[in-house]
Amino acid sequence: MKTPVIVINFKAYSESLGMHAIRLARMAEDISKETGVNFCVAPQWVDLRSVASQVQIPVFAQAVDSAVSGSFTGSNTIEAAKDALADGMLVNHSERRITLSLMSEIVSAAKTSGLVSIVCADTPKATAAACALNPDFVAIEPPELIGTGIPVSKAKPEVVTKAIEKVKSLNSLSKVICGAGISTEEDVAAALRLGTVGVLLASGVVRAKDPQSVMLRMAIATGAKE
Amino acid sequence: MKTPVIVINFKAYSESLGMHAIRLARMAEDISKETGVNFCVAPQWVDLRSVASQVQIPVFAQAVDSAVSGSFTGSNTIEAAKDALADGMLVNHSERRITLSLMSEIVSAAKTSGLVSIVCADTPKATAAACALNPDFVAIEPPELIGTGIPVSKAKPEVVTKAIEKVKSLNSLSKVICGAGISTEEDVAAALRLGTVGVLLASGVVRAKDPQSVMLRMAIATGAKE
Amino acid sequence: MKTPVIVINFKAYSESLGMHAIRLARMAEDISKETGVNFCVAPQWVDLRSVASQVQIPVFAQAVDSAVSGSFTGSNTIEAAKDALADGMLVNHSERRITLSLMSEIVSAAKTSGLVSIVCADTPKATAAACALNPDFVAIEPPELIGTGIPVSKAKPEVVTKAIEKVKSLNSLSKVICGAGISTEEDVAAALRLGTVGVLLASGVVRAKDPQSVMLRMAIATGAKE
Amino acid sequence: MKTPVIVINFKAYSESLGMHAIRLARMAEDISKETGVNFCVAPQWVDLRSVASQVQIPVFAQAVDSAVSGSFTGSNTIEAAKDALADGMLVNHSERRITLSLMSEIVSAAKTSGLVSIVCADTPKATAAACALNPDFVAIEPPELIGTGIPVSKAKPEVVTKAIEKVKSLNSLSKVICGAGISTEEDVAAALRLGTVGVLLASGVVRAKDPQSVMLRMAIATGAKE
């Protein structure tokens, strides 16, 4: 997956449900085409198939509940993500923590299915642990900053740099994304300066008055040119 | 919702994913039109919107994770079910047990949104407890029979009749569905004879060689005429 | 169990661990002897056996994880509570919610073992549901008041009175305890005036500067005489 | 902690509760003194304090629910284990899986408190992930062998050797224990031959007709002399 990357988690917000999901995904696609920056969107499961069929940017599931198909009720599977033409999935988001065992199964099954995995981790240690599973990306999210609007680059830059060091010292191929408190273009620029390959954010775009201009400013802040 | 009802839970089976979900739902719709028996289907979340837009029989979510929308990742909400034009949802399935507190919130929110709720319960006592929340239906599923192919009507008819008595003694308006071990038309007929208003089943239809003929035989077994 | 009752949940506070657990339990026992008011204490599992062996007032487990013994690791069972000479247990506390199915098994197994069960519920509806399981007590705790120090008797007296009405209308033998925001003797008196048979509280006693005098004032506020 | 080590998980068996816990722990202590092999026991929480006060061999909690003390109900904490004079704890047992985030917090807090941690993992990958948290031991337990009585040394020796290779390649100080299907002295010997420093077992000892002679044979099989 091309980097730098800006991943927008639609969460379970009303503002990003149904036709709003399509609208936001199209905005991201437009900005992506315009600026060459890789935008990804993670709609709710109810919108996964419709969004994936209508935009060409990468579309992610917010979580997967089971690595295998079968006799499970209410579970969202790898196979379902693949069938919906999703490109990947978030794994172990702080609002959907899973066991190490399930995380390992999901990352492996994702790889087998050709899907990209972004594993969320709260500390440099958890980042190192996640790397052992060889996900494509690890999103570092100091939990005390989630939803605060305080960017980790300001409040705890050392958490990000330590996570990156850990990954390098392990010779891991996983890339680090910055995932808490990102709400402005300055936060995006700071995240990249710290050595990450992108950002994971939600309300900063989804609940913005003008999501498209926020996305545009963030794209520009990555300094990327086509 | 019209009774008798035959609710088909698609679970997370490969056999009922994507275009198979549409195909099975259309079969159910055909049999429903032909026989007048109320068939409902519960596809995976990934298929909820597409199935609901393509058939006119009631479509159910297999589970809802949150009664409210908001800052949740990977959660399927009441609002999402409504937006997808679903008609209702299973609640507390044995493969997706939830707390009493969440169950209460979901059943209330479903009612407010005009959605039908089917709460699963494993014993007559749990059925009585569920009735306190006023769901539209309670599906009684003795856990030791789930997935066995042994119909509760044969193995434990008294569990079903006690559940129905409990509901009546509480003056509850909730209706009782029979939900474990149903795989043949005889099981459907027996479930109705015991006093339930329908059945909830999964593999008996989804993994049948000829799902349509199973559905037809079950519809006929309800003895219903349009 | 004699009423009115004052149940003190020791939670996982440092202030009520180990020798502090014994000390607090003895204080409660002293006040109980002095005033005739039934004090119960719910220490951590690590202290359950030692507390139960050293005081004569009722001792409760804070939670039980399994109704049966067997191949479970890290689970606290009914049999373990009984073996430790505990008198009962809290069930489904807001900090330890369980499924309806497990709740039902635990309340039944408690009864069989001669142990008292106090099921926590957050709303009048959940109280009614809990009553279907025939626990000895239901503790009503509006979740928005837990830990606030705002007594339900002031903030939401109607939640308590509705819960009591529900219980009566169901002809249930379960008694209602008031369980959120209790921190002063006025709160205890108000809870009893609303028709409950007692209170469930934690930090108001455990973290008080002088727990013994708080307990004494609460005992007096029940208006009970031996 | 001295190796080789034989860790006996008492689980929630009736056969290892209360006075049986004391009896089994004393047997293990006797064999330990006699043979010089390091036996550890992991009783239920209800017995943790009494066992730890009565034997001099290492005593482990089966699980910890929270790394910190505070307003939690029904949770067993690091501080409680320490207060009970336990020497360490199992973490993430297959019957008590926890999130990576909690695992990380618990292993850190254990270290700070001077307690030994044994993290359970089901695959070589999960073993590598666990090593990132620097626990004292990782117990490798292929889940398909748990409770089967089939020793991993026979059925899947490569799972154990791969786990050990992973640990070495990471320059981790964590030591590997063999933890599934161990029931005889041959299994113990085979586990050590594969390069592990010990075994974790439960029913093989706890439910044996003559636990003491099983323990003795296992001790001898380690080939250790005082």
Interface test with C, best of B91, B96, B99 (most C CBs within 10 A): B99
Edge-first strand listing for the sheet containing B175-178: B38-42, B5-9, B198-201, B175-178, B137-140, B116-121, B88-91, B60-61
CB contact under 8 A, A11 and B50: no
Q: How high is the pLDDT of residue B225?
A: 45
Tell me which residues of chain B have a pLDDT lower than 70.
147, 224-226
Q: Does the domain formed by A5-221 have CATH 3.20.20.70?
A: yes
Residues of B whose CB is below 8 A from A49: 46-47, 49-50
Q: C97, B99: Cβ pair inside 8 Å? A: yes
Query: Given an 8 Å threshold on Cβ–Cβ distance, is A100 in contact with D100?
Result: yes
Catalytic residue among C15, C29, C34, C93: C93
The answer to whether residue B222 neighbours chain A at the CB level (below 8 Å) is no
A98-102, A179-183, A202-206, D116-120: which has the minimum mean pLDDT?
Answer: A179-183
Q: Which of D71, D91, D115 to mutate to test the interface with C (most CBs of C within 10 A)?
A: D71
Contact D57, D77 (CB under 8 A): no
Instruction: For residues A107 and A115, give the distance between their C-alpha atoms in angstroms, rounded to a whole number.
Output: 9
Element (H, E) at A177: strand A175-178
Kindly report the nearest CA distance between residue C225 and chain B, in angstroms.
37
Q: What mean pLDDT do residues A128-139 have? A: 96
Query: From the CB coordinates, do chains B and D have 3 or more pairs under 8 Å?
Result: no
Query: D71: how many CB neighbours lie within 10 A of its CB?
Result: 16
Partners of D132 on chain A (C-beta within 8 Å) are 125-126, 128-129, 131-132, 166, 170
pLDDT of residue D225: 45
Q: Return the pLDDT at B226.
A: 40
Task: Name the neighbours of C, counting chains with at least 3 Cβ pairs within 8 A.
Answer: B, D
What is residue B224's predicted lDDT score, i.e. its pLDDT?
54
DSSP element (H, E) containing A53? helix A45-54
Q: Inter-chain contact A97–D97, Cβ cutoff 8 Å?
A: no
| Cβ <8 Å between A74 and B63 | yes
Phi, psi of D49 (to 5 degrees): -70, -45
Mean pLDDT score, D146-173? 86
CB contact under 8 A, C128 and B125: no
Instruction: Output the average pLDDT for chain A.
Output: 94
pLDDT at residue A198 is higher than 60: yes
Verify cis geometry, omega within 30 degrees of 0, for the bond prior to A58: no
A95 touches chain B (CB under 8 A): yes
Residue closest to D53 by CA, chosen among D79, D21, D31: D21
Active site residue D105: no
Q: Is B23 on the interface with A (CB under 8 A)?
A: no
D 27-66 residues with CB < 8 A to A: none
Q: What is the value of pTM for the model shown?
A: 0.95
How much of chain A, in percent, has pLDDT values that exceed 90? 86
Question: Nearest-CA distance from A78 to chain B in Å?
Answer: 10
Q: Are strands D60-61 and D38-42 parallel, antiparallel or unpaired?
A: unpaired
What pLDDT does C223 receive? Answer: 86
A147–B202 C-beta distance less than 8 A: no
pLDDT score at A164 = 95
pLDDT digits (tens, 9 = 90+) for C119-176: 999 999 999 999 999 999 999 987 777 767 787 777 888 899 999 999 999 889 999 9
Q: Higher-confidence residue: A145 or B123?
A: B123
Annotation marks residue C20 as catalytic = no
- Choose, out of D47, D50, D66, D73, the residue to mutate when testing the contact with C (most C CBs < 10 Å): D73
Phi, psi (rounded to 5 degrees) for C170: -95, 0
Query: What is residue D59's DSSP assignment?
Result: B
Angstrom distance (rounded) from CA D74 to CA D175 = 31
Average confidence (pLDDT) over D91-110? 96
Distances (CA, A) of C104 to A174, B99, B130, C129, D66: 46, 12, 11, 11, 26
Q: What is the pLDDT of residues B34-70, one digit of tens each?
A: 999 999 999 999 999 999 999 999 999 999 999 999 9
Q: Cα distance from A87 to chain D (closest Cα, Å)?
A: 24
Q: What is the pLDDT of residue D224?
A: 54
pLDDT at C196 over 50: yes
Q: Do residue D92 and residue A99 have CB atoms under 8 angstroms apart?
A: yes
The DSSP bridge partners found for residue B170 are none
Q: Find the CB nearest D44 among C13, C50, C80.
A: C80
Query: Any chain D CB within 8 A of the CB of C9?
Result: yes
Active-site hit among B15, B79, B141, B226: B141
Q: Over the stretch A44-69, which tens digit does the pLDDT of each residue have?
A: 999 999 999 999 999 999 999 999 99
**Beta-strand pair D116-121/B60-61:** unpaired
Res. A38: pLDDT tops 90? yes
| Chain D residues in contact with C76 (beta carbon < 8 A) | 12, 44-46, 74
Q: Rounded to 10 degrees, what is the CA torsion of B165, B170, B173, B175?
A: -30
Q: What is the pLDDT of residues C73-97, one digit of tens each?
A: 999 999 999 999 999 999 999 999 9
Contact C100 B103 (CB under 8 A): yes
Query: In terms of CA atoms, which chain A residue is nearest residue B67?
Result: A12
Report the pLDDT averaged over residues A92-112: 96
d(CA C51, nearest CA chain D) in Å = 11
Instruction: Give the closest-approach CA distance of A19 to chain B in angstroms.
Output: 9
Which of these, C173, C96, C187, lies nearest to C137 by C-alpha position? C173
CB A73 within 8 A of CB B98: no
**A173-187, B37-51, D156-170: range with highest mean pLDDT:** B37-51
Q: Which of A107-121, A138-152, C129-143 bottoms out in mean pLDDT, i.e. has the lowest?
A: A138-152
**Which B residues, 148 through 177, put their C-beta within 8 Å of a C-beta on chain C?**
166, 170
- Mean pLDDT score, A186-203: 94
Structure token digits, residue C33: 């002897």
What rounded mean pLDDT belongs to chain C?
A: 94
Query: Is the distance from CB of A92 to CB of D100 less than 8 angstroms?
Result: yes
Annotated active-site residue in C79, C95, C105, C141: C141
Q: Please list the active-site residues of A.
A: 93, 141
Q: Which among D108, D126, D166 is the nearest to A100, CB-wise?
A: D126
Instruction: Flag the least confident range among A148-152, A217-221, C158-162.
Output: A148-152
- Report the range of poorest mean pLDDT among A18-22, B97-101, C147-151, C218-222: C147-151
Binning pLDDT at 50, 70 and 90, where does residue D91 land? very high
A12/B66 touch (CB, cutoff 8 Å), yes or no: yes
Write out chain B residues lying below 8 Å of A47, CB-based: 49, 80
